[in-house]
Amino acid sequence: MTKLIKLLMVVCLFIAVQSGLYAKYICIIDAGSSGSRIWLYNVEFDSAKGTVNAAEIALDKSKSKTKPGIAAFANVDSKKIQTEIANYFAAMLGEVTEKAKAAGCDPKTIPIYLLATAGMRIVSPTDQTYIYSELIKYLSTTGFIVDEKSSAKTISGEMEGVFDWLAVNWKNNISRANNPTLGVMDMGGASMQVVYATPMNSGKGIQPVKIGDIDPIKYNVYSKSYLGLGADYARYQYSDDLNCFFKGFYTPGKGGNYGSGLVDVDRLLTSVARLEPIPFDKMNAPMEFCAISAFNTIAKSEHFKFNTTMSIPEMVDKGNVLAENTWQSLEKEAQSNPYLFSLMFTSQHIIEVLRDLGFTDDKKIQLSDASWPIGAAIYLAYNNTTLQQGVNLVGAEQEQEQEQSGNLAALQGGWDSESADIWIGE
């Protein structure tokens, strides 16, 4: 009977391969500066069509998020840290385990990745080593699949950009039909990413991306990260510029000149940051861009009310209307929106970023609430290493040779260490 069952399993796996459908579960922990959130995805690739389906497995939000950020572990004594880490992740991993089993998936077949962003950028290398070694030690006891080199680390800004690109493009644009892909702009709190597919095979900032196990589809993606141009870090440099904040915010009756604020903000981008224009004229075909994170949040906020697209002139017009408000008239609204005070500056910053990237007044920019964790899941699901579970189509020796190839190799070693985001990306 046992031999019969094994034979049936082999036959089922063979049928799955022949059908061209490959599905796998993958767990991503987004370790942000103020807290962590866990995600569970079921990623499926149809090799015949070259299409991806990445389904998010719904988790209880009250159990899938926790505070503070993992940087806090730097101050925990080595004798207590494993207990602290276990308490920190208990509810999150318990929720993933429960939902995975309910979906018919054994948690022991799920690779887990804790990927840190802005919060770990300011942590010293010594403390990072301590934190990550303790996290790997703990994760190795949870029953999930853990890789010592890649299951817990800080991702670069460029790598985050690649994840952004996948998060935006996987649903409608990635296929063997060579559909045009969207370029992506992501503005976080500390840094900003600009990323798009390129026909170039190599060069600084270019990352090869493959999707699928058998006969994968491949892209070359250019990703550039700008440390300091995130909405918060940029604002810190203008905290005493009255024209970047509502009239009366600092000084009664003063400030709030939107046009003057735009001029002031542009100085940072042209004189200090030296923003790199997108080479629209050198692309093989016209490319549209999609803006996410702060771009999307500000554009869809109550005072701008964009729906699916925005343009620079529309943003300027609504910004001028916004600037007619005094801070005193907005104080009641600010009680339920702690970020309202920064709305004027961030909108000015977005406008000047778009201008300096080369967007013209007639160009529409798409808006999306996509975020990088789903892109990370797709990227890491197809790494051609022993982390993959299920159908193993290569021998042990070949598998060993491939361990440092494909998508995972870039995550293990990082890449483009001379980039603007020298430490780590947001």
- pLDDT digit string (tens) for 393-424? 222 223 333 333 456 555 554 433 233 332 22
Q: Are residues 92 and 133 in the same domain?
A: yes
Looking at residue 383, what is its pLDDT?
62
Residues 6 or more apart in contact with residue 71 via CB below 8 angstroms: 33, 119, 120, 122, 123, 127, 131
Consecutive H or E run containing 258 = helix 258-267
Q: Residue 59 in contact with residue 108, Cβ under 8 Å?
A: no
Looking at residue 23, what is its pLDDT?
56
Q: Are residues 253 and 174 in the same domain?
A: yes
Looking at residue 18, what is its pLDDT?
38
Domain's final residue, options 351, 367, 383 = 367
Looking at residue 411, what is its pLDDT?
56
Q: Are residues 103 and 134 in the same domain?
A: yes
Angle at 296 between CA 295 and CA 301, to 5 degrees: 105
| Distances 18 to 214, 383, 384 between C-alpha atoms, Å | 10, 20, 18
State mean pLDDT over 156-177: 90
Residues 6 or more apart in contact with residue 11 via CB below 8 angstroms: none
Beta strands 36-46 and 51-56 are antiparallel
Looking at residue 14, what is its pLDDT?
37
Has residue 205 got a pLDDT over 50? yes
What sign for the dihedral angle of Cα 420, 293, 408, 203? negative
> Among 105-109, 281-285, 401-405, whose mean pLDDT is lowest?
401-405
The C-alpha atoms of residue 284 and residue 296 are separated, in whole angstroms, by 27
Cα–Cα nearest to 173, from 161, 164, 184, 182: 182
Looking at residue 391, what is its pLDDT?
26
Looking at residue 5, what is its pLDDT?
38
State mean pLDDT over 212-239: 89
Looking at residue 201, what is its pLDDT?
84
In a domain, 202, yes or no: yes
Q: Residue 387 in contact with residue 408, Cβ under 8 Å?
A: yes
Which range of residues forms the domain containing residue 23? 18-154
Q: Are residues 145 and 245 in the same domain?
A: no
Q: Are residues 141 and 289 in the same domain?
A: no
| Distances 264 to 247, 317, 322, 349 between C-alpha atoms, Å | 16, 18, 18, 10
How far from the centroid of its chain's Cα atoms is residue 425's Cα?
Answer: 10
In a domain, 339, yes or no: yes
Domain's final residue, options 106, 133, 154 = 154
| Distances 6 to 21, 109, 232, 331 between C-alpha atoms, Å | 21, 18, 57, 68
Tokens of 279: 């080479």
DSSP string computed for 362-397: T--EEE----HHHHHHHHHHT--STT--S---S-HH
How far from the centroid of its chain's Cα atoms is residue 334's Cα?
Answer: 28
Strand order in the sheet with 191-197: 206-211, 217-227, 191-197, 183-187, 289-293, 365-367, 309-310
Please, what is the average pLDDT of the chain?
A: 84
- pLDDT digit string (tens) for 329-361? 998 999 999 999 999 999 999 999 999 999 999
What is the band of 250 on the pLDDT scale with cuts at 50, 70, 90?
A: confident
Q: Are residues 285 and 254 in the same domain?
A: yes
Domain count, the chain: 2
Q: How far apart are the first and last CA of the chain?
A: 54
In a domain, 286, yes or no: yes
Residue 22: how many CB atoms within 10 A of its CB?
20
Matching residue, tokens 């690109």? 165
What is the band of 119 on the pLDDT scale with cuts at 50, 70, 90?
A: confident
Q: Are residues 317 and 334 in the same domain?
A: yes
**Is residue 110 exposed (0-12), middle (13-18) or buried (19+ Cβ within 10 Å)?**
buried
CATH of the domain at 132: 3.30.420.40
Higher pLDDT, 114 or 416: 114
Q: What percent of the chain has pLDDT over 70?
A: 84
Has residue 11 got a pLDDT over 80? no
The C-alpha atoms of residue 88 and residue 64 are separated, in whole angstroms, by 11
> Among 6-20, 22-36, 264-278, 306-320, whose mean pLDDT is lowest?
6-20
State mean pLDDT over 7-21: 39
Has residue 67 got a pLDDT over 80? yes
Q: Are residues 185 and 234 in the same domain?
A: yes
For the chain, state the CA radius of gyration.
Answer: 23
Looking at residue 410, what is its pLDDT?
55
Tokens of 238: 């203008």
State mean pLDDT over 201-207: 87
Domain's final residue, options 367, 402, 418 = 367
CATH of the domain at 340: 3.30.420.150
In a domain, 333, yes or no: yes
Q: Are residues 146 and 208 in the same domain?
A: no
Has residue 12 got a pLDDT over 70? no
